[in-house]
Amino acid sequence: MPDFQDRVLKCIDCGTDFVFTAGEQQFYFQKDFKNEPKRCRNCKTRRQNTGERASGPGRVETAAVCSQCGRETTVPFRPTQGRPVFCRQCFQTRKAAGAAAG
C-alpha cells in the first residue's frame, strides 16, 4: 500500500486550497477511486444541496437532430461529435430491438 501524506488541492468552483488528507487518500485507494476530489467541502455540500448534478435538476438539455428520423429533439447530455443522437421514440425502438435480439 502506498505511503499517504496530506496534500493541498485547489477547488475547481471557488479556487480555494483544501487538504486532501492521508486518511481520505487511503479511503479512495481502498475503494479503487481513480479521481481525486475536485471541490472543497463547502462547494461539495452546496452543490449537493442545490441539486447541481448531472442526473438531478438543472442538468444540461441540448438541442439536437435525431440521426434516425431527422426530428428536432433535446437530449440530457452534450452530444459527442461523430456519434449518433436519437430522439426518445427512436431510442426506445432501438433499445427494444436490441433487447429482443439479445
pLDDT at 24: 95
> Residue 72 sits in which domain range?
62-101
How far is 82 from 23, CA to CA, in rounded Å? 42
Shared domain check, 69 and 38: no
Place of cell 439479445: 102
List the one residue out of 51, 50, 45, 24 whose CA is nearest residue 35: 24
Looking only at the bridges linking them, the beta strands covering 17-20 and 72-75 are unpaired
Q: What is the pLDDT of residue 21?
A: 95
SS3 20: strand
Q: In Å, how far from its chain's centre is CA 67?
A: 24
What average pLDDT values come out for the chain (102 residues) when binned by 10 residues?
A: 92 94 95 93 88 58 92 88 91 89 76
- Asked, for residue 1, whether it belongs to a domain, the answer is no
pLDDT of residue 2: 83
pLDDT at 77: 84
Q: Does 82 map to a domain?
A: yes
Whether pTM exceeds 0.75 = no
Q: How many domains in the chain?
A: 2
pLDDT of residue 99: 82
Looking at the fold, whether 71 and 92 belong to one and the same domain comes out as yes
Q: What is the pLDDT of residue 5?
A: 96
Q: Based on the domain organization, do 43 and 76 belong to the same domain?
A: no
